[in-house]
Amino acid sequence: MTTTLPTQSERKKFSPPSIPWVVTFVYLIAMLLVPTIALILKAATLSPQRIWEIATSPVALSAYDVTFVTALFAGSINGLAGLIIAWVLVRYDFPFKRILDSLLDLPFALPTAVAGLTLATVYSENGWIGSLFAPFGIKIAFTRLGVFVAMLFISLPFVVRTVQPVLQESEREIEEAAWALGASQWQTFWRVVLPPIMPAVLTGVALGFARAVGEYGSVVIVASNLPFKDLIAPVLIFQRLEEYDYAGATVIGTVMLLISLLMLLAINLLQAWGRRYGN
């Protein structure tokens, strides 16, 4: 082996030792798959009527509403804001741009408990920002708006980070061609700049939405966690477990898991769409 050069066919057969494969599969099965299957099978031991009853109980429905609708709002607002932030970072120069760019990763790196703590303080009635809204009768912390702000915080970087590289690679010549052909700047943006970055924007929104839907740490601190008011589904699961209501926790947990899987599928499809644009 050491003295002879491998032939073409031997080189094609070049494969890593099987240890990485064994480690990958054993670890994934033990750490991810068995727990996931345990949840699904546990849910399957319940009768369909019972599952339906728990999954569509009024408390659960209101929790889905708070979770998904608020996350959708947060994701969409960050879709728009993230697009503008990415645009500004790629196209304009201004002082402290690099620091600003680095700081955008804060929601990825900052533990969610810290985010919740500081948002609850800042957006409370006598907090720095909350006190600006209080005179208008707008309460943010410990209401659904607080949930929204927490979701806004944790899903902020996704769109920026998915759009930035695509925008960097987009060719300025095409925009110039559009201008030269008489398109207004608005038309150029709408018809030339936006379509290629749209998959990246949607991927970012989907990632941010998925993250916001599953978020627990920051929301549980910034919200009052009252049913029918600002209780999100992950907190509901937590409360069910605290009451030793395993059936309730399992069913709502399974609903959340299935939605996560759907989101994962959607994100994969969006990324595939983006790659097609990339070529």
Partner 1 sequence: MVTDNLVDRPQQLPAPTPAPVDRSSKLEKLAKPLLIGFVILYLTLVLFIPALNVFVQAFSGGISGFLNTFHERTFLNALRLTLLMAVISVPLNTVFGLCAAWAIARNKKFPGRTLLISIIDLPFSVSPVVAGLMIVLLYGRNGWFGPLLEANNIKIIFAVPGMVLATIFVSLPFVAREVLPVLEEIGTEQEEAAKTLGANGWQTFWRVTLPSIRWGLLYGVLLTNARAMGEFGAIAVVSGNITGKTQTLPLFVEEAYKQYQTQSAYTAAVLLACLAIVTMVAKAILEQKTGTKNQAGH
Residues 122-181 that bind partner 1 (CB under 8 A): 122, 127-129, 149, 152-153, 156, 172-173, 176, 179-180
Least gap, CB of 149 to partner 1 (angstroms): 7
C-alpha 204/C-alpha 276 separation (Å) is 17
The count of other CB atoms within 10 Å of the CB of residue 271 is: 17
Nearest CA to 259 out of 190, 201, 212 is that of: 212
Name which position in 6, 44, 125, 138 contacts partner 1 (CB under 8 A): 6
| 116 makes contact with partner 1 (CB under 8 A) | yes
C-alpha 152/C-alpha 132 separation (Å) is 19
Instruction: State the number of CA atoms in the 13 A half-sphere of 132 facing the CB.
Output: 4
C-alpha 159/C-alpha 78 separation (Å) is 7
| 110 makes contact with partner 1 (CB under 8 A) | yes
Name which position in 7, 11, 48, 136 contacts partner 1 (CB under 8 A): 11
Buried b (16+ CB within 10 A) or exposed e, 95-127: eeeeeeeeebeebeeeebeebbebbbbbbbeeb
C-alpha 269/C-alpha 131 separation (Å) is 43
Least gap, CB of 205 to partner 1 (angstroms): 14
Q: Which is nearer to partner 1, 103 or 226 (CB)?
A: 103
Least gap, CB of 119 to partner 1 (angstroms): 5
| 270 makes contact with partner 1 (CB under 8 A) | no
| 228 makes contact with partner 1 (CB under 8 A) | no
CB 123 within 8 A of CB 222: yes
Name which position in 51, 54, 63, 115 contacts partner 1 (CB under 8 A): 115
What three-state secondary structure class fits 142?
coil
Name which position in 66, 70, 79, 112 contacts partner 1 (CB under 8 A): 112
- The window from 25-33, 52-60, 192-200, 223-231 that contacts partner 1 (CB under 8 A) reads 25-33
| 196 makes contact with partner 1 (CB under 8 A) | no
Q: Taking CB under 8 A as the rule, which mask of x and - marks residues 70-109 in contact with partner 1?
A: -----------x--xx-xx--xxxx---x-x-xxxxxxxx
Name which position in 243, 261, 275, 277 contacts partner 1 (CB under 8 A): 261
